[in-house]
Amino acid sequence: MTALNQARQLLEDTRRTVEKSDDPMSRRTVEKSDDPYVISRFGDWQIRVDVAAALLERADTHPSPVASTEAQIAAAEALIFASNTEFELTGQRTALPPSLDDPLRWKYQIVGNYHLNGVL
């Protein structure tokens, strides 16, 4: 499963968990969250997933080493955000298999070197 698909799956799983959880402040079961913070976290999460999907689509339609690397970075960052936000909102963290074969710091260097110096 790709990092993007993992981020999407965590988003969906966390949404279901948040919808079914009890609100400890009011001692009631919440059907949909009305907490502005939770709502904004899901908005941020969805945008990160959508950006990663758009960059992946661009890399598929206009292949280049940089486009592919940008898509990999966005997907990895969406997954990192997903994992952290899942823990933040539910107190649980889904164990994720390693999804990157090399550190993100090298991927950022590839993109930066291309955009700054024109080097592939």
Task: Please answer whether residues 11 and 46 qualify as being in contact, where contact means their C-beta atoms are separated by less than 8 angstroms.
Answer: yes
Band of residue 102 on the pLDDT scale cut at 50, 70, 90: low
Q: Which of 46, 22, 48, 47 is nearest to 35 (CA)?
A: 22
The pTM for the full model equals 0.83
26 torsion bin: left (phi>0), alpha (psi -120 to 50), beta (else) = alpha
Q: How far apart are CA 14 and CA 86, in angstroms?
A: 6
CATH at residue 32:
1.20.140.10
Packed helices 104-117 and 65-90: angle between N→C axes, nearest 10 degrees: 140
Residue 110 clears pLDDT 70, i.e. is over it: yes
Residue 32 clears pLDDT 70, i.e. is over it: no
Segments forming the whole domain that contains residue 84: 3-117
Residue 98 clears pLDDT 70, i.e. is over it: no
Tally of domains in the chain: 1
Positive or negative, the CA dihedral 90, 94, 100, 103 is positive
